[in-house]
Structure 1
Amino acid sequence: MFWAANYFPKSNRVTAIFITFEGIDGSGKSTQSKLLAKTLADQGVDVIITREPGGSVGAEDIRKLLVEGETDRWSPETEILLFTAARRDHLEKTIRPALANGTVVISDRFADSTRVYQGVARADLRKTVDALHDTIIKVEPDLTFIIDVDPEQALTRGLARNSGEDRFEDFGLQFQMDLRAGFLALASENENRCRVIDGNRPIDAIASDVLSIAKAAIG
């Protein structure tokens, strides 16, 4: 059973939209995506929670290649190809079927992470990322939450998890700082769908802001 098979079938029909959570490693976005999914489900909304890389059987296999191992395991160009392959399978097997069924889809990361990680912070490859996305994926979220936190605290939190999926944390603090700048720049470029949320607060306070914005979006 892969991580994305967290379905909460209910009966309260709302607008089936695609919501994503983005942010640097250790920002708390995974916690917030799970809290939003649970709260919506408790209120009777059909919802699925998924993640990237991963979210489908094939994409989960690719995930292991990307998040484990040494920092120099892959070049930025190879990472882009692997992420795009995983994302396409995720889109075909999980995201599109759920939306077609009238289900709200919440994903912990999507294409914005590749735009920032491989397109800006790892290398100057944003044009390559965008070209592949426009050719292979062709889908943008309806609403994106960017959980903005202090990079030093986030890195400490991320490494403390000792999850075995620490490849990107191992790039160090400057990399996390570059990521934060990249996400904030991306938010300013996409104000119509991106909402920057102050993540340097108690979890409940963050979740309250997220829920208010999400409920307005799904009606």
Structure 2
Amino acid sequence: MPSYSSLIGPETVGDAVLPLASLTEADFEAIGGLVHSTRSFSPKKEEIEIVGERTGLGSSSVEYLFITLSFLYDHVGTAISSGMGYEEAISATVEDLSASTSWSESEKDLLRGRLGALLQPSNIHRDFRKVERIRAGFQPHAVGFSSIVGLRPKFSDDEAGELTIEGLVPAIEFRITTDAKDNKNHVFQLTEEALSEMKKAIDRLERKVSAVKQANISNARIIEL
């Protein structure tokens, strides 16, 4: 089914989860399958696109939905920690969300059941967040790579004192963009020899990662998300 991703996001949390009420059981199960997978509320981009097209919601609405479900999972967990029962916490959350929207009673009943099925406390969500914290570490992450290749003229003076272009020298600039708050971009120049060495280093790094994944380190399993 063709889908369109709106440029404008939902105005409220209630608006973000309301699409759950319009899904068929099969489409809702597709959402639930992702929520209860090892990636928790953070499906891969291609998974979001598939569900967005399948449901007709569009990838943006599905992405907003998963972000909101993650927020509501924490919200319900806080309520449970304060002594509230799970079903009571879900009902209170639905009433809270509907206060700023125009949900019908049938939509409230349906969303109560569907949110109840999606927000159940689970080790899957705890484990995913723990793995993400370990993966993230404390250093900024490289999130973008770009390059510019140019030709720089080599000038020479002729006998009349006129400048002429004797030749052109290839020049390579490479930029790495990180998710750091400050000093996000790191730009440096490469010679062709350095570019060749960088390619070798990346190839060696890929082989190292592959070797680590295949290694049997004290019978520990490699966690991949």
Band the TM-score falls in, shorter-chain normalisation: under 0.3
Higher radius of gyration, 1 or 2: 2
Report which structure shows greater RCO (CA 8 Å, sep ≥6).
1
Q: TM-score, normalised by structure 2?
A: 0.27
Q: TM-score, normalised by structure 1?
A: 0.28
